A and B are shown apart, each in its own frame.
Chain A
Amino acid sequence: MLFIMPVVLIVISSLMQEFGWSSLTKEPSIQVLFVNNDQDSLGTKIQSGFKGSDVFGVVDSLNGLPLTEASAKNAVKKGEYLVAIVVPKGATRTMRANVRLSVAKTLAGFGLGNPTMVNSIAFRDSVDVTIYFDPTVKKTFKNALISSVRENYYKFQTDWVFKTFNQEIAIQMPMYKPPKEAFKEILKFKEVFPSYREVELIPNTTQHNVPAWTIFAMFFIVIPLTQSLIQEREGGSLFRLLTMPVPYMTLLMGKVGVYLMVCLVQTVAMLLAGILLLPLCGLPMLVLGDDMAGLFVMTLAVAMAAVGYGLMVGTIAKTHQQAASFGSISVIILAAMGGLWVPIYLMPPFMRSLAMFSPLNWSITGYYSIFLRGGSLWQIAPQVFKLLLFSLSTVIVTAIYHKYKKPLNS
Chain B
Amino acid sequence: MSQQPIIEIRELTKTYKGADEPAVNSISLDIFPNEIFGLLGPNGAGKTTTISILCGLFPATGGNVSIDGIDSHTDMKKIKQIIGVVPQDIALYATLSGRENLTFFGNMYGLYGSELRDKIDHYLREFGLEKHAGKLVSKYSGGMKRRVNLIAGLLHDPKIIFLDEPTVGIDVQSRVVILEYLKEINKKGVTIIYTSHYMEEAEHLCTRVAIIDRGNIIALGRPKDLLEGHPEFKNLENIFIHLTGKDMRD
Contact = CB atoms under 8 A, between A and B. Distances in A.
Interface of A: 235-237, 239-246, 406, 408-410
Given A240-B85, A245-B109, 10 more contacts: A235-B93, A236-B89, A236-B91, A237-B93, A239-B85, A239-B91, A240-B87, A245-B81, A245-B110, A409-B58
- Most B CB atoms within 10 A — which of A235, A239, A242, A410? A239
B87 A236 contact: yes
B36 interface: no
A94 B87 CA distance: 91
B67 to A, nearest CB: 12
Nearest to B107: A246
26 contacts: A235-B90, A235-B91, A236-B88, A236-B90, A236-B91, A237-B92, A239-B52, A239-B85, A239-B87, A239-B89, A239-B91, A240-B87, A240-B153, A242-B55, A242-B56, A242-B57, A243-B55, A243-B56, A243-B80, A243-B83, A244-B108, A244-B109, A406-B58, A409-B16, A409-B57, A410-B17
B91 A408 contact: no
Interface string B163-193: 0000000000000000000000000000000
A36 to B, nearest CB: 66
Contact of A245 (B52, B77, B153): B77
Contacts of B90: 235-236
Contacts of A408: 52, 57-58
Interface string B214-230: 00000000000000000
A237 B56 CA distance: 15
Given A235-B89, A236-B88, A241 B52 contact: no
B140 interface: no
Given A235-B90, A245-B81, A240 B105 contact: yes
A242 B51 CA distance: 13
A2 to B, nearest CB: 14
B94 interface: yes
A242 B57 CA distance: 6
Contacts of B83: 243
A244 B79 CA distance: 9
A239 B55 CA distance: 10
A241 B108 contact: yes
Contacts, number: 58
Contacts of A410: 16-17
Interface of B: 16-17, 52, 55-58, 77-78, 80-81, 83, 85, 87-94, 105, 108-110, 152-153
Nearest to A240: B91
Nearest to A409: B58
B250 to A, nearest CB: 14
B108 A246 contact: yes
- Most B CB atoms within 10 A — which of A239, A240, A408? A240
A237 B91 contact: yes
Contacts of B89: 235-236, 239
A245 B84 CA distance: 10
Given A406-B58, A408-B52, A408-B58, A243 B85 contact: yes
B105 to A, nearest CB: 7
A240 B58 CA distance: 13
Nearest to B84: A243
Contacts of A235: 89-94
Contacts of A409: 16, 57-58
A402 B158 CA distance: 27
A409 B19 CA distance: 12
Contacts of A245: 77-78, 80-81, 108-110
B58 A244 contact: no
Contacts of B153: 240
Contacts of B78: 245
A404 to B, nearest CB: 11
B148 to A, nearest CB: 12
A240 B90 CA distance: 10
Contacts of B87: 236, 239-240
- Most B CB atoms within 10 A — which of A237, A242, A243, A410? A243
A293 B227 CA distance: 76
A226 to B, nearest CB: 16
A243 B84 CA distance: 8
A349 B16 CA distance: 48
A379 to B, nearest CB: 42
Contacts of A242: 55-57
A179 B87 CA distance: 99
A362 B26 CA distance: 54
Contact of A240 (B16, B81, B94, B152): B152
Nearest to B79: A245
Given A406-B58, A408-B52, A244 B105 contact: yes
A37 to B, nearest CB: 69
Contacts of A240: 85, 87, 91, 105, 152-153
Contacts of B109: 244-245
A407 to B, nearest CB: 9
B83 to A, nearest CB: 7
A246 B94 CA distance: 22
A244 B162 CA distance: 13
Contacts of A239: 52, 57, 85, 87, 89, 91
Contacts of B57: 239, 242-243, 406, 408-409
A409 B92 CA distance: 20
B19 to A, nearest CB: 9
Contacts of A246: 108
Contacts of B152: 240
A22 B81 CA distance: 66
The 4 closest A-B pairs by CB, nearest first: A236-B89, A236-B91, A240-B91, A409-B58
